[in-house]
Amino acid sequence: MGFRDKVVYQIYPKSFQDSNSDGWGDIQGIISRLDYLQKLGINYIWFNPMIVSPQRDNGYDVADYRNFDPRYGTMEDFEELSREAAKRGIGLMFDMVFNHTSTEHEWFKKAMAGDEKYKKYYIFRKGKGPGVPPNNWQSKFAGPAWEYVEKYDEWYLHLFDVTQADLDWTNPEVRQECADIVNYWISKGVHGFRFDVINLISKASFEDDPNNYDGRQFYTDGPREHEYLQELNRNSFGQDPEHLTVGEMSSTTIDNCVRYANCDGRELDMVFSFHHLKVDYKNQMKWELQPMDFMRLKELFVQWQVGMQEADAWNALFWNCHDQPRSISRFGNDKEYRKESGKMLATALHMMRGTPYIYQGEEIGMPNAYFTDISQYVDVESTNIFKVLKEQGKSEEEIYHILQERSRDNARTPMQWDDSPNAGFTDGTPWIQAAGSYKTVNVKGTLEDPDSIFVHYQKLIEMRKTLPVVQEGIYVPMLEDHPKVYAYERRTEDDSLIVINNFFAEETEVDVNLEGYEVYLSNYADTKTDSHLVLRPYESVIFRKKA
């Protein structure tokens, strides 16, 4: 359980720091910013993929699992990064994309050239008839999940882009290849692994989805999923005493996750789940806006905190990542109450039971990009949906509002280091332009402010490192029916924290028995300990029982 006092920082390398003025972030750029990350206090850096890829899906379409894309740097650069991070007490976590490979990968090229061994690495099936795919499953990136190969008169499965062919995990050779890749990176000093959409590797069957939906019920949390993860554990990272592992679980359940991340250590250390990031999806549809359903958000937090706790399983905690808009714009208030809401969101998350993940820029309160022209958007998902929504008759004004709220590019704009051109990210032309907020929201200004969001994150990270009640305490929900406040207790036999968070821009009142408690950390300077609390906009308080 050596990971329960740790905090992970996610870097999107393409946007973090460019060292050679080509407009593309790189490994040397990351090295140049390690002192900043050490100052923040994090323990691990998780990198989105930097290995060879055609970049159809931002590196999640892997063409070579063992070599870096030259745009990011060389193996020598990485070895320097590994050494320099270790000097600062920072471990490294890599993304392992094992559900699929790029069709540019050597394995798939050999499969297409007629090599039967490698054809069995992928999922090829006969169609139901001429020109009819094997079933009606839909790709997560739109369109059928099957692509026809005339040479074989067969179709290959791609749950994602057509250039991302699914691997066949029923083949023991595929499973061994994946274990070998993990062991290769362990030999290079990588001890942390994030497994991309790992709960999709076991397909239950290949029948039609009777609801004409997307087929996910037949390939999510499949019948051999736990067997495959246990085997991967035994054959690779489970042999490494320093390992830290997290699985990205798509459309999963608590019942499955208590097995994926149980304390017996047979599978993974912790899991990401995404249910809480759909509470502002109208009708569960990403491109339809509605205000956050706060009561649903609370309900999901309580369900996952309590459900995982009862099985002594572990959550990965996060508001932000490379695929989500900025939480301060989404669940906070990035204009009138940027500092207050940024600190509140951090407190609400970091004091829960689990391992917090910080996405680059979150710790300084970076907001959404608020781009106003389609030419500013780069993400293929965003440019595609612009056309789709236009065809549906929506006005450009309405479409831009939707993109400003939902586009993944909101998370991918350059890290805002200072107020110089391109936010200090590059001297060249950035691959995506910096968000306009960099003039006022940047690291340089933040580090000069003793009351910054960054300082609040430092305090929360220090609490996790030093307080057993944060690391090991049980989670007890409080004020579950309050319409504006998310509150809970963390408790051990000899310590207790009460965490109270106002999620709204209006004052609200709560009654809590705080006898014997004192203010430990607040986002307002003058918070009092009072059993009748009048919480100001986005006020967030940690009370601790007096020693």
**18 is written with which tokens?**
């460019």
Residue 262 and residue 311 in contact, taking contact as beta carbons nearer than 8 Å: yes
The answer to whether 357 and 323 have CB atoms below 8 angstroms apart is: no
Helix runs in 98-169, H state only: 106-112, 116-119
- Catalytically annotated residue among 5, 95, 196, 225: 196
Ramachandran angles phi, psi of 152, nearest 5°:
-105, -5
Is residue 156 classed as helix, strand or coil in its secondary structure?
strand
Q: Which is it for strands 474-478 and 495-502: parallel, antiparallel or unpaired? A: unpaired
3-state percent breakdown (helix, strand, coil) of the chain, nearest 5? 35, 20, 45
Other C-beta atoms within 10 Å of 393: how many?
7
The answer to whether 246 and 299 have CB atoms below 8 angstroms apart is: no
- Report DSSP state, residue 108: H
Residue 39 in tokens: 């100052």
Q: What is the maximal distance between C-alpha atoms in the chain?
A: 76
Phi and psi of 325, rounded to 5°? Answer: -65, 165
| Sequential DSSP letters for 466-532 | H-HHHHHPEEEEE-TT-SSEEEEEEEETTEEEEEEEE-SSS-EEEE---TTEEEEEESSTT----SE
Active site residue 506: no
Assess contact for 417 and 411: CB atoms under 8 A: no
Token output for 123: 């999922």
Angle formed at CA 252 by CA 260 and CA 322, multiple of 5 degrees: 95
Please say if 248 is a catalytic residue: yes
Closest alpha carbon to 191 in 202, 182, 204: 182
Catalytic residue among 5, 95, 248, 334: 248
Provide the token pair at 104: 């540019």
Phi, psi of 45 (to 5 degrees): -110, 125
Alpha-carbon gap, residue 436 to 430, rounded angstroms: 14
Contact 208, 241 (CB under 8 A): no
266 phi and psi angles, rounded to 5 deg: -80, -20
| Contact of 54 with 63, CB cutoff 8 Å | yes
Is residue 327 a contact partner of residue 495, using CB atoms and an 8 Å limit? no
What residue has token string 């004020």?
479
Output the CA angle 241-247-251, nearest 5 degrees: 160
According to DSSP, residue 262 is labeled: B
| Residues recognised as catalytic | 196, 248
